[in-house]
Chain A
Amino acid sequence: LVSSGGLKMSGGTRLENANPVIFQRSGERLLTASEEDEDVHDPIDDREIFDILSINDPEHPLSLEELNVVEQVRVKVNDAESTVGVEFTPTIPHCSMATLIGLSIKVKLLRSLPDRFKIDVHITPGTHASEEAVNKQLADKERVAAALENSSLLEVVNQCLSTRNI
């Protein structure tokens, strides 16, 4: 799934984009009265998915949100039809981490959403050199499953998904 270049980061080699533009994080979601009302059904919405995706970037001690890799407008969920679509934007067009980021997003969603959802993770069109190849890899269930069998790859994904120690 991932080209060997994508695994080098754990060795602390030079960062590809050491000084990215940082975006402000959106605030905590405000609690509404209906959310506290036990009888009301809260559908899963875009913001909820977006909040789930507060994943660390493998290259930076920053979240994907702060790097603008994941934006709320690029998260689409349809609770009734059980579909989730996430577009992510690599920080630079030739980012070798793109596949890894996509994989992390996918794994995070798999772990956090009910089984019924069909999860589609792909690169924002026109933002990456090898967009198509990466999208194809991410869409292939078999290859995703195989990638997660690879313990060193799983290790990197898990590191991305660990809650940050601030």
Chain B
Amino acid sequence: MFPSAFFFLDRRLSLTSSQPHTRARGVQLLSEVLHECYGNLTEREVEVLIAFYENRLKDHYIITPPVLQGLRALTKCTVLPPGSAVSMLRSLFQDVHVQSLMLTERSCVYNMLINLMETREAELKGLGADFVFGFVQSMDGERDPRNLLLAFQIAKNIIHRGYDLGKFTEELFEVTSCYFPIDFTPPANDPHGITKEELIEALRAVLSGTPKFAEFLLPLIIEKLDSDVQSAKLDSLQTLTACLSQYEHKDVAEFLEGLWTSLRREVFQTSSERIESAGLAALTTLTSCLSRSVLNSDSEDSLSTFLDLVLKDCKHHLCEPDLKLVWPSAKLLQAACSASNRASHIITAAVMPSLIDQCTVIPPVCLSRPSTLEESVFSAFRESLCSMVFSALSETNSSLQITATSMLTSLAPVILIIMTNLFLSSLLCSEPMDQDNNRVASEQYSHHAVRQRCLSALAAVSTQPSIVRESTPVLLEVLSSAHTGNLVGFSVEEVVLACRSLQRIAEQVQDTEETGQCFHEVIIPRLLSLALQAALQGKSWKHVMFPQKQQGDSWSQSQMVCLLMGCVCSLPRSVEVPQIDQLLSQLEEMSCTCSHPLSYTSAAKCFAGLVNKRSQGDSLDSLIQRTTKRVCSELDSTSSPVRTQAFTLMIWVAKALLLRYHPLSTALTDKLFSLLGDADLGAMAADGFSLLMSDSADVLNRGCHADVRIMYRQRFFSENSAKLVQGFNAAPQEKKPNYLKALSNIVNKLPKQETVLLLSLLLEALLCPDQGVQLSTLSCLEPVLINPPPALIQQLEALVSRLLALICSSVRIASLRCIHALSRFPEHEILPFRARVLRALARPLDDKKRLVRSEAVQARGEWFLLGSPGGR
């Protein structure tokens, strides 16, 4: 039994009182109790309560509000007996006129409906169209936005969950659509936070929910589009877009003309960009709605009917470039076009011929338009499209070129085959232009320009593996035709550009297996054979690669060794190079004897690259020893004509060995150190350290599988810094700059800590009277001072006095910079020097050179702030 039955009995008096107010209070109390404990009721109790409440609905109107609250609580019961939902609603619809209730009671009714729809869907559907009718009656005239949101939710549920609308479709539509378009401005400081957008969304979900509304909704939308209110237009267009995605062609068939007229007007006479884009979106949805219809044998194709309308109104505008309707028409056509394949076929077929005729006049429009089209559409227009794009590319108008290029990029897959054909026909076939002597040079020039742009465009579009497969052969073809000589008219620039294009493709293409394969199987072999062919011209490749005698003109062939270098030095270590010993000895020979810089350098690098990868063992050792001996003997004879060559080979081999920690590298690096004192090669040797310590781009890096050990730089430094210091100290004054330069080359590549070891050397060097030494020392020192190592702080006294001694010399700018850097040292360390530095810096303030004064002003300003309040 109901737990509060006693209370019920106590209240009997009030419930049966003859005063309606008293009865109302009694029911109210009961309803409030039910709200607290509806979950505990049994089915039987619920049945009793429902019967009681249903009965009370017939009572005095003043009792209705508490009754509704009680019923709402009961709708939340999980144990609602079968049939009770139906009877509850019947008495509700029958006995209560919802719209004459107060706001909260109306809300109560809607909540009841929502609750019942959640739990008793099948029963409610059993009510049939009566339920819809009851609801329509209940919400008819609702004005409160809070309740409207609830009502719209119920309407949406009715539509989306398949309730039988019966003959009340129009009524349901009327009762909701009368709010369309929503015009609601929430009051200032509205506590409920209902926005216009919420209402719009909720209503739109109702209106666009079912095709059954189409016959009512579409005329309404057409009507509302005539409105002058911007937001109404926008809402109408968006609702149209929403509902069209649900509709089928037969739903819209009879309204096509009206819709088109309205949409056209919105785009042609657009007042705002948002409306225009909403209109275009609606047009796209409409077209795609028509496109996906399944045609019966007797129905006409509404898509083509509609597109006929569109084309009739838009096409002729395209041919009148002076009128401002060109763009809107183009946009409309684009929008329709992008809806579906069929639509784009129809429109393209109708528009393209006249567009191509027009393209010389209004190219931007024509060019941008097709970019939304799909591939197959173009088949019929390949040739003309291509010529259009290419002529656009050769135009001077930059926006046109941009459009053309973006079109090329977007159309790449389709257009490529066409392009390649066109290329081959226009570039490779013998040009009538070239044979025709009457042509003027300027035309020839512009033709070259077009070709060059074609090549760039081809490279630009080659980003997908499939395209690369098509485009690279064309480029290779250009190259090969260029130097087989069966084609005239290719300028050197064009051939170079073709190579560049290939390089660009290689850089930008997606790195996939397919492209890798393409490069390995097609491009690289072709390129190599082309390059060799170019050099060979009838001779055997060995002759070319290693000409037996040094002839003046042989460099054009001997430089081919750089290709060889590129190939063999990039191989993984596991790959065995055939005839490697012979190759090595010929490379060595060439690098030591050839007089052409590129040739001997490449030979040396190639040699070094191979040496770096050769496996450890006696054969490698003897090879190195042989080479070292040869190089050293050449270097030792100061009169030798090939000292530079020998030096180049030495430095590269030294690098190759240094990278792999080969013990024999020491002989070579020692030689390098000794060369720092050489009259001719000293400066080169100092620069050589930079080569030793930095990464090389083309050989001897990890990218080409070279044997590179970690920390080789640090190792080299720790093994050799002593030698460097020793050499520096022993060197005559005029040779010291080379040592310092070598030092700075090494130091620049090393982590800061390592330089600490050199501090004493640097400090020592500051005393050296040679300006070059001073300058390079100061430039070494400055980066160190930014993050001073503790060892430096210990020698601060020496550092400061030596720097101050230089502030009036010819290296004073560098010295002042170092003094400036000193001001950032820990304050307690440098404060003792403040007065002295400030005094010393007064003099350069009056220097004759402005640059010096400026450095002095900055440095002095910082030193002044030191130890001063508010300073640092």
Contact = CB atoms under 8 A, between A and B. Distances in A.
Given A35-B849, A42-B850, A114-B846, A154 B864 contact: no
Contact of B848 (A42, A115, A154): A42
A114 B872 CA distance: 24
Contact of B845 (A114, A154, A159): A114
A35 B860 contact: no
Contacts of A42: 848-850
A52 B857 contact: yes
Nearest to B868: A158
A115 B839 CA distance: 11
Report which residue of B842, B849, B850, B853 has the largest number of chain A beta carbons within 10 angstroms of its beta carbon. Answer: B850
Contacts of B229: none
Nearest to A37: B849
A142 interface: no
A67 B850 CA distance: 26
A52 B871 CA distance: 17
5 closest cross-chain pairs (CB), A and B: A155-B870, A158-B870, A114-B846, A155-B869, A42-B850
A41 B850 CA distance: 8
B810 A38 contact: yes
Interface string A102-135: 0000001001111110000000000000000000
Interface of A: 31, 35-36, 38, 40-42, 44, 48, 51-52, 108, 111-116, 151-152, 154-159, 161-163
Report which residue of A31, A35, A108, A111 has the largest number of chain B beta carbons within 10 angstroms of its beta carbon. Answer: A111
B123 interface: no
B865 interface: yes
B679 interface: no
B861 A112 contact: yes
Contacts, number: 59
Nearest to B849: A42
Interface in B830-847: 842, 845-846
A112 B842 contact: no
22 contacts: A35-B850, A35-B851, A41-B848, A41-B849, A42-B848, A42-B849, A42-B850, A44-B850, A44-B853, A48-B853, A112-B845, A112-B857, A112-B860, A112-B861, A114-B842, A116-B846, A151-B869, A152-B869, A154-B868, A155-B869, A155-B870, A158-B865
Interface residues of B, number: 22
A83 to B, nearest CB: 14
A34 B849 CA distance: 10
Interface string B361-390: 000000000000000000000000000000
Given A52-B857, A112-B861, A159 B846 contact: no
Contacts of B857: 52, 112
Contacts of B850: 35, 42, 44, 48
Contacts of B853: 44, 48
A158 B869 contact: yes
B19 to A, nearest CB: 69
A41 B852 CA distance: 11
Contacts of A31: 851
B826 to A, nearest CB: 18
Nearest to B850: A42
Interface in B799-847: 810, 842, 845-846
A151 B869 CA distance: 6
Contact of A111 (B848, B849, B861): B861
A40 B852 CA distance: 13
B764 interface: no
Contacts of B869: 151-152, 154-155, 158
A36 B864 CA distance: 28
Contacts of B860: 111-112
A159 B872 CA distance: 9
A130 B864 CA distance: 31
